[in-house]
């Protein structure tokens, strides 16, 4: 079952057990940033963070791919981090980092851990340098989203680093790749295998993942929390039912063009009554017609009806 955190006494990296243990069997939504007419909608973001604080998540991930961390300005990143740190004082806050500057800013803003954006050049030294700021979660991301296909030797070298507490794997649609990395990670039981597989979330848990850091977790969050709890408790009927429901939701939201999933998550939050309808812009994603938004609304309704 997800480990509950102890309450932090002030804004800053939260107190309690080590980050890896606090994440185990927990859901960490990679949260999007609501925009309104091209401007960060701070009111909607505060409302979203307040809502998320009432969910039984292990934490959230900001500045990740879903949160457009590499596109936001430094000022926008600081605003996003401050909002979430203030709202989730007793949760783990993971910040995406693609540079030492981002890592330093994350630490200064009260993050607990870093999600390392993939890098081709000297990945081991890069992860080691990030780890001087905060514990690091390595990231195997599919190439179409800017990822790097780390080979097995590189993955072992990353997992050998004491600064690296685990690895998130997000292949999108390669079960074989996830199986390969899961087998490799099994040799490192002290490290956390974190699933980022929105399209086969339930199966990735069956393959050995012990935490989930997923963009899909931004919406229908409670169902995904229940999914992980059901698997950890060996409640197989509940796990299979929720897995089927969430697979249906993912099939409607994680489809081509893939960059559209960020806007679709914002639409899903609107459909679930979390965000206002006018604060669902994604300045860096593709645009869609009204029919696409209705398809997301329908997917949310169907998932809720299935519970």
Domain boundaries, the chain: 19-239
The pTM is what?
Answer: 0.93
Q: What does the block give as tokens for 253?
A: 């939201």
**Per-residue pLDDT reduced to its tens digit, 261-301:** 999 999 999 999 999 999 999 999 999 988 999 999 999 99
First to last CA, the chain: 20
Alpha carbon of residue 285 to chain centroid: 18
Report d(CA 73, CA 68) in Å as an integer: 10
Homologous superfamily, domain 19-239 = Aldolase class I (3.20.20.70)
**Per-residue pLDDT reduced to its tens digit, 38-93:** 999 999 999 999 999 999 999 999 999 999 999 999 999 999 999 999 999 999 99
pLDDT at position 145 is: 85
Q: How many CB atoms lie within 10 A of CB 207?
A: 19
- Say if CB 93 and CB 84 are below 8 A apart: yes
């Amino acid at each position: 079952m997800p480990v509950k955190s102890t309450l932090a006494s002030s804004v800053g990296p939260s107190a309690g057990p080590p980050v890896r243990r606090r994440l185990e069997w927990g859901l960490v939504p990679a949260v999007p940033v609501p925009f309104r007419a091209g401007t960060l909608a701070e009111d909607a973001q505060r409302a979203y963070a307040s809502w998320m604080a009432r969910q039984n998540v292990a934490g959230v991930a900001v500045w990740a791919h879903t949160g457009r961390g590499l596109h936001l300005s430094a000022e926008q990143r600081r605003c996003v981090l401050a909002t979430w740190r203030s709202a989730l004082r007793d949760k783990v806050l993971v910040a995406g980092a693609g540079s030492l500057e981002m890592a330093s800013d994350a630490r200064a803003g009260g993050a607990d851990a870093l999600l390392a954006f993939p890098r081709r050049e000297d990945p081991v030294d890069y992860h080691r340098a990030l780890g001087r700021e905060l514990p690091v979660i390595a990231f195997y991301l599919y190439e179409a989203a800017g990822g790097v296909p780390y080979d097995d030797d590189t993955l072992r070298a990353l997992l050998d680093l004491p600064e690296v507490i685990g690895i998130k794997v997000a292949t999108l649609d390669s079960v074989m790749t996830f199986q390969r990395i899961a087998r490799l990670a099994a040799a490192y039981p002290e490290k956390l295998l974190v699933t980022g597989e929105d399209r086969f979330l339930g199966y990735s848990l069956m393959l050995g993942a012990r935490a989930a850091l997923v963009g899909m977790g931004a919406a229908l969050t409670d169902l995904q929390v229940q999914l992980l709890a059901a698997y950890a408790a060996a409640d197989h009927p509940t796990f299979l039912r929720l897995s089927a429901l969430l697979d249906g939701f993912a099939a409607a939201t994680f489809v081509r063009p893939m960059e559209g999933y960020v806007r679709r998550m914002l639409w899903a939050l609107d459909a679930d009554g979390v965000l206002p309808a006018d604060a669902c812009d994604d300045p860096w994603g593709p645009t869609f017609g009204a029919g696409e938004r209705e398809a997301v609304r329908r997917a949310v309704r169907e998932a809720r009806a299935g519970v």
